[in-house]
Amino acid sequence: CCNCYFITPNEPNLVVAGGSLLRIFRYVPMQEDGQIRHRLEQVLSCNLYGIISSIVPAKYPGNRRHSLLVAVGEAQLAVVDYDPSSHCFKTRMLYNYEQDDQRQMFLQQTFLPQVRVDSENRSAAMLIYGSRLVVVPLIKPAKNSTDSTHHSYVVDLKKLDEKVNNVKDFQFLHGYCEPTIMLLYEPLRTWPGRVAVRRDTCSIVAIALNIRDKVHPIIWSQNNLPFDSLYALPVPKPTGGVLIFAANSLLYLNQSVPPFGVMLNSFSSSDDRLFLFRNRATTCSL
């Protein structure tokens, strides 16, 4: 689910996806026991031809309402708008990358597609098949234009760095002149039964997206992160950087400052050789 201005530019909506069903709700204020509360009222719904695996809002230049980027199936992406004249969904664009050359010999779906949008609405990206990135510029093409900067394209992450594989999560970072993506990946997998042999197996890499020239240099990387790293959360400006959520620890990484982390429980006390846990006196509270 996500929150955005899909129906009108002045009233927020709650977007909920379950299975193949996409539903739009609006918040209706009501007074109860002297307090103003809100209830949800469904205003729109639609069944898609596939299971929805990821959904994020995005705003194209010149639009006051948000569009919805919906990942369906193995590697399909639909950009959906609201049509006020017919009060229904309207498809802006459809992308399909379920070709054999993208599957990389996968016989069944092992990685669900994930969609992310740049905080400044410059570009969107969808991760498919664990190591391929579909870049979708959020640019309105001019009529009869031959410029290809608004066309989507696929980036093979292994060609940027052969170690990039088994991507767990990726996010757009804040505070960069160009859209910059941070990838959290595990090149050589391990599991709790092998932590004595292989423990700090996760890494991150930051890639700048030069959409016009289709050049993607690696500007920042960090290795030897805990094997149980799960998710990444970009930190807004002016702080910047990214938070890495692991099962037993919380890490903060930034290109301009040394990495730092805190332990969340006693299970992470065995990571004595991990340089991220220098300050043992740090406490973390919610």
* pLDDT given for residue 151 in this prediction: 83
Q: Which residue has the higher pLDDT, 154 or 130?
A: 154
Which neighbouring-strand residues pair with 183? Answer: 170, 205
Q: 40-74 burial, b if ≥16 CB within 10 A, otherwise e?
A: eeeebeeebeeebbbbbbbbeeebebbbbbbbbbb
Phi, psi of 277 (to 5 degrees): -115, 55
The rounded mean pLDDT for the chain is 84
Rounded Cα distance between 95 and 199, Å, is 38
CA distances from 238 to 76, 99, 175, 234 (A): 35, 41, 8, 12
What does the alpha-carbon distance between residue 264 and residue 19 come to, in Å, rounded to a whole number?
34
Segment 75-88 mean pLDDT: 91
DSSP string, 42-96: EEEEEE-SS-EEEEEEE--TT-SSPEEEEEETTTEEEEEEEETTTTEEEEEEEEE
CB 77 within 8 A of CB 138: no
C-alpha 107: how far from chain center: 25
pLDDT of residue 280: 54
Instruction: At 284, list the tokens.
Output: 């973390």
| Per-residue pLDDT, 278 | 46
pLDDT given for residue 188 in this prediction: 86
Q: What is the pTM of this model?
A: 0.84
**Each residue's pLDDT tens digit, 186-223:** 988 887 778 777 888 899 999 999 988 888 999 999 98
Tell me the three-class secondary structure of 153-212, residue by residue. EEEEHHHHCCCCCCEEEEEECCCCCCCEEEEEECCCCCCHHHCCCCCCCEEEEEEECECC
Question: How many angstroms separate the CA atoms of 202 and 208, rounded?
Answer: 20
Give mean pLDDT, residues 40-58: 91
Residue 272 makes CB contacts below 8 A (sequence gap 6+) with: none
User: Using the 8-state DSSP alphabet, how is residue 276 labeled?
Assistant: G
In the sheet where 260-263 sits, what is the strand order?
229-234, 242-246, 249-253, 260-263
Q: What is the mean pLDDT of residues 146-161?
A: 78
Predicted local distance difference test score (pLDDT) of residue 182: 94
Residues 6+ apart with CB under 8 A from 266: none
- Kindly indicate the confidence band of residue 286, based on its pLDDT and cuts at 50, 70 and 90: very low
The pLDDT tens digits for 218-256 are 999 998 888 889 999 999 988 889 999 988 888 899 988
Q: In what order do the strands lie in the sheet with 180-185?
A: 167-172, 180-185, 202-208, 218-225
Mean pLDDT score, 170-191: 91
Q: Give the separation between CA 111 and CA 103, rounded to whole angstroms.
A: 10
DSSP reduced 3-state for 277:
helix
pLDDT digits (tens, 9 = 90+) for 93-133: 899 888 766 666 555 567 788 999 999 999 999 998 888 89
| Cβ-based burial of 34 (10 A; exposed 0-12, middle 13-18, buried ≥19) | exposed
- For 35, residues 6+ apart whose C-beta sits below 8 A from its C-beta are none
State mean pLDDT over 49-72: 91
- Segment 24-38 shows an average pLDDT of 87
